[in-house]
Structure 1
Amino acid sequence: MSDFDKSFDGYTTTYGVPDRIELMLCDLNGILRGKWLPGDQTGKFAKGDVRLPLSTYAPNILGEEVEETSLGIVAGDPDGHLIPITESLAPVPWAKGNVAQMLVEMVEPGQDSNPLSPRGILKKVLNRFAAKGMFPVVASELEFYIFRKRDTAQDAPQPPAHTPDAQNYDLEVLDRQEDILTEIQAACSAQGLATDTLIAEYGPGQFEINFHHTGDVLRAADTALLFRRLVRAVVARHGMEASFMAKPYAEFPGNGMHLHTSVVDGDGNNVFSADDGMGETLQNAVAGVLSTMADLQAVFAPHMNSYRRFQPNSFAPTAPDWALDHRGASVRIPATKGPGARLEHRISGADVNPYLAFAAILGGMLHGIETKPKLPLSLDDPKATPSTPLGHDWLNAVDRFAASNIATEIFGAEYAKLYATLRRDEISKITTRLTQVEYEVYLGRL
């Protein structure tokens, strides 16, 4: 009996045979694409009869094929076989009827992996750690906004009624949204997503979820991806909308994705821990993520809107710097001793592809552990000089990524090229559109 069959039997024992299984494939943009499989047709997996076009891994953000990728119709748009990620099989509490969902990967006939898989890229980084007898432990945090339902896609978001502009840790805000937030928590429990604390964040209608730390890094990335789907679906049931867009409001804080990361050895000992001060391995890891941050910014800030977070005094770090327990730094060190010794990477927006962002952060750490670059002075050291800020230009960030050796090392030459190609296509389609403010300011007076 296959792993999927065992998992499916366990599901049906608890819930019965589902009406359908929603099969979900994560594309380069972190968008879930896929198909519905009738619950009585799961035997198709063993036969390789559940398929999607291989190009499904790499459309642009609009869902369009991009000819320059050499995928899609220019290559005949061949199919790949869908492979179940069995541990992700779970009920869909917000759906009507008995509905299950499951993440899938896709491979070509005769292959057991696919270089186009974001999840596969993260797995390769983890294998590099394992080859050194080292195993990352992670915990992510995700911020999102809830806002009133809009009439059209062109409408700007509006916070829920009676929401203060600054709601940071406001318990009354949690009380007002109790029905939505408790349903989110219940759905997470039903799907086995390991959520921890939930808070009202600073912006109006903004919330943050923390996930439990885990050594199952792939599952942690799965969880971040699935949580975004869950939140949008649950909030919609209440006549509202939710978004993980990096900067939905110009005047309020953006949405971030923070990753807390430590590393343990084969015996479970935290290799970042030191009896006195900051240990050498932790220093090297921090230096690694700082020295690679600009090269990998196009992963941490994938879209045009992502760069609106990188503004002074915007609650988002804007430069590759670090400090002990300092939330203004891009890399914060909450603890240096014991099991909790770790770094917190605070650059990513909540709009990232979690697999690629995790891979970039862990790949940067590994680069530092292997090459031992010099660690700059802490942000709060009086002798420290300001770090060169990260760029505000989307195209420059993509060009830097495309030319980067570390991007090739982490993602592979083929995927790094694909990533840059799709980002440049997105740039060409998005930045050439005239905006409403250009009409308001220029059209009538120039």
Structure 2
Amino acid sequence: MKSPSATLLAEVRTFRQNHPEVRYVDLIALDIPGHFYGKRYPVEMLEKVAAGSPLKLPQNAVLLGAQGGLFKIGDYCFNDGDPDANRRLVPGTLKPVSWESQPLGQMLITSDGTEAPIEFEPREVLTKVLERLHHKGIHPVVAFELEFYLFDKKLDDGLPQFARDPLSDDVDDQPNLHIERLSRFSDVLDDMAQTAKAQGIDITVITAEIGPGQFEINFGHCDDGLRAADWAALFCRSTRGVALKHGYRASFMAKPYLQFPGSGMHVHVSLYDGAGNNVLAAHQQQPLRHAVAGCLALLPHCMPIFSPNHNAFRRLGGTVNAATRASWGFEDRDACVRIPESDPRNLRIEHRLASADANPYLVLAAILAGLEHGLEARQEPIAPLNEDRSSGTDFPVDMLDAVRAMQHQSVVRDKLGAEFVDVYCENKRQDHLAFQQEISAREYRWFL
């Protein structure tokens, strides 16, 4: 068996042979708000890193706010000397970038698996949750679904414009689910799908959604939770790049139009034991009920993860299939936790609350923590919506309330890590306060 460095070195050398035109590779990782940060390396230096040379980036790059600023969080950023932290290359993620004007490659990096992983790095948080589940003999299988909007490339005084129909040269301003929209935008959608596949992402179904210029992409079910979250993160990056190449903007913003549905991140999760048996289907599906109860119990305390910014809270309620309370149901898209119809082998939950711009590593970590908590506590859930349309429990619908609900919840701190929870909550609090520091034109119209 090859050592990790030998495997990485072979991957880099094979890439260089297949893509001799590529001179630089972007080494990228996801920060807390869900943006990629990193460095652009000459490809010959990447070979040295793959062979074992240190790869260091500032530890506090993970703490960047939504606009890239640094916040004082405990001693981080301003009282710690801004130290470097080791990163490692993620095997299997070195791929060509086709949407840039010049030949380029990209590869994921992470602190998980290093001697001193960053406790609040999103990928490390998910790694710890998965390792704990695997130690208990539980193996998740995960599939993400992501909704997004296409806009015209040019903004109108900073506001998005409807995408132009390439066949009629008119704006696509009619919300619908028609299959013809897939045909009208087939050039850009096909390029998005093919580019994602070239990145190693298992793309399956493409759907024209209800909003004007809104689409949904489904990913294949994956028995590696980290890889499933990698796919979701990388898809957002490649899709935005491909859209610009075709004269559009692609955005995973949660609620770009108040009058049309928002964009969500739906996550399907099933759990299997070491023998391949579906844990949720055992004992007349009693573990499923326990898992649902755990998800619903932690959901109000994980809202800063599921709705990571001010705009994301706008998505909740008011339009189709967007819940305002923690609820569940069989084949019910109004529920936060939906149980799709399936045979016992494929029995799973579909968690529908997160916005499309949420951090996929943290969303999956929070969902799995809820499932784990439910299997441990073995509590019965509230009535499903199929039995009682008013069933549900309240959750915070404001960022500051959500942060207060998350920061001191003992189960969340235990499952996701106390250091992460403190850092994440302060990051969201500071981002929210910074967002409120700008006076909008509407405010002048109302009060000047």
Tell me if TM exceeds 0.5: yes
Displacement, 1:50? 3.2
Displacement, 1:386? 2.9
Which deviations, in whole Å up to 9, do the C-alpha atoms of 1:272-324 show, x marking residues without a partner?
22585xx0111111111011110111110010001001123443122111111
Q: 1:56 aligns with which of 49, 52, 61?
A: 61
Letter in 2 for 1:140: F
- In structure 2, stretches of 5+ residues that fail to align are 165-169
What SS class does the counterpart of residue 325 from structure 2 fall into? coil
Q: 2:185 aligns with which of 177, 181, 197?
A: 177
1:268 matches 2:276:
yes
Could you say which residue in structure 2 is the equivalent of 1:356? 362
Instruction: Return 407-416 or 227-236, whichever deviates more.
Output: 407-416
1:99 matches 2:120:
no
Q: 2:254·2:357 contact (CA, 8 Å) conserved in 1?
A: yes
Could you say which residue in structure 1 is the equivalent of 2:345? 339
Could you say which residue in structure 2 is the equivalent of 1:406? 411
> Per the alignment, do residues 282 and 35 of structure 1 end up closer, same or farther by CA in structure 2, a change over 3 Å counting?
same
Could you say which residue in structure 1 is the equivalent of 2:167? none
> Per the alignment, do residues 66 and 162 of structure 1 end up closer, same or farther by CA in structure 2, a change over 3 Å counting?
closer
TM-score by length of 2: 0.93
Displacement, 1:388? 2.9
> Per the alignment, do residues 107 and 342 of structure 1 end up closer, same or farther by CA in structure 2, a change over 3 Å counting?
closer
Note the 1:105-124 alignment, pairs <5 A.
Answer: 105-106=110-111, 111-124=115-128
CA distance in 1 between counterparts of 2:350 and 2:278 reads 15
What SS class does the counterpart of residue 293 from structure 1 fall into? helix
Q: 1:129 aligns with which of 107, 116, 133?
A: 133
Letter in 1 for 2:398: D
CA distance in 1 between counterparts of 2:116 and 2:53 reads 12
Displacement, 1:379? 0.7
Q: 2:176 aligns with which of 167, 182, 203?
A: 167
> Per the alignment, do residues 385 and 200 of structure 1 end up closer, same or farther by CA in structure 2, a change over 3 Å counting?
closer
Q: 2:162·2:171 contact (CA, 8 Å) conserved in 1?
A: no
Percent identity of paired positions between Structure 1 and Structure 2: 34
Q: 2:401 aligns with which of 396, 400, 408?
A: 396
Note the 1:273-284 alignment, pairs <5 A.
Answer: 273=281, 279-284=285-290
CA distance in 1 between counterparts of 2:305 and 2:48 reads 35
Displacement, 1:61? 1.0
Note the 1:239-278 alignment, pairs <5 A.
Answer: 239-273=247-281
> Per the alignment, do residues 102 and 153 of structure 1 end up closer, same or farther by CA in structure 2, a change over 3 Å counting?
farther
Q: 2:28 aligns with which of 24, 28, 32?
A: 24
Displacement, 1:341? 0.5
- In structure 1, stretches of 5+ residues that fail to align are none
Letter in 1 for 2:90: I
Q: 1:29·1:61 contact (CA, 8 Å) conserved in 2?
A: yes
Which deviations, in whole Å up to 9, do the C-alpha atoms of 1:109-153 show, x marking residues without a partner?
x82522132111111111111111110001110000000123478
Instruction: Return 92-101 or 292-301, whichever deviates more.
Output: 92-101
Q: 1:322 aligns with which of 328, 332, 345?
A: 328
- CA-atom RMSD in angstroms: 2.0
CA distance in 2 between counterparts of 1:151 and 1:330 reads 33
CA distance in 2 between counterparts of 1:247 and 1:151 reads 16
> Per the alignment, do residues 388 and 432 of structure 1 end up closer, same or farther by CA in structure 2, a change over 3 Å counting?
farther
Which deviations, in whole Å up to 9, do the C-alpha atoms of 1:187-240 show, x marking residues without a partner?
012111001100101100000000000111100000000000011000000111
Displacement, 1:44? 3.8
1:35 matches 2:39:
yes
Q: 1:274·1:336 contact (CA, 8 Å) conserved in 2?
A: no
Letter in 1 for 2:280: F
CA distance in 2 between counterparts of 1:159 and 1:189 reads 24
> Per the alignment, do residues 404 and 174 of structure 1 end up closer, same or farther by CA in structure 2, a change over 3 Å counting?
same
CA distance in 2 between counterparts of 1:31 and 1:410 reads 24
Letter in 2 for 1:138: V
Q: 1:44·1:50 contact (CA, 8 Å) conserved in 2?
A: no
Displacement, 1:268? 1.3
1:301 matches 2:307:
yes
Which deviations, in whole Å up to 9, do the C-alpha atoms of 1:340-377 show, x marking residues without a partner?
20110000000111000000001000000011122111
CA distance in 1 between counterparts of 2:320 and 2:74 reads 36
CA distance in 2 between counterparts of 1:312 and 1:72 reads 39
1:199 matches 2:207:
yes
Displacement, 1:385? 4.5
Letter in 2 for 1:111: E
Q: 2:12 aligns with which of 8, 15, 30?
A: 8
Q: 2:152·2:160 contact (CA, 8 Å) conserved in 1?
A: no
Letter in 2 for 1:15: H
Note the 1:362-373 alignment, pairs <5 A.
Answer: 362-373=368-379
Note the 1:223-242 alignment, pairs <5 A.
Answer: 223-242=231-250
Displacement, 1:176? 1.3
Q: 1:68 aligns with which of 70, 73, 76?
A: 73
Instruction: Return 31-40 or 96-105, whichever deviates more.
Output: 96-105
1:188 matches 2:196:
yes
What SS class does the counterpart of residue 263 from structure 1 fall into? strand
Q: 2:112·2:127 contact (CA, 8 Å) conserved in 1?
A: no
Displacement, 1:90? 1.0
CA distance in 1 between counterparts of 2:365 and 2:427 reads 19
CA distance in 2 between counterparts of 1:338 and 1:5 reads 42
Q: 1:198·1:209 contact (CA, 8 Å) conserved in 2?
A: yes
Displacement, 1:432? 3.1
Q: How many matched pairs?
A: 438
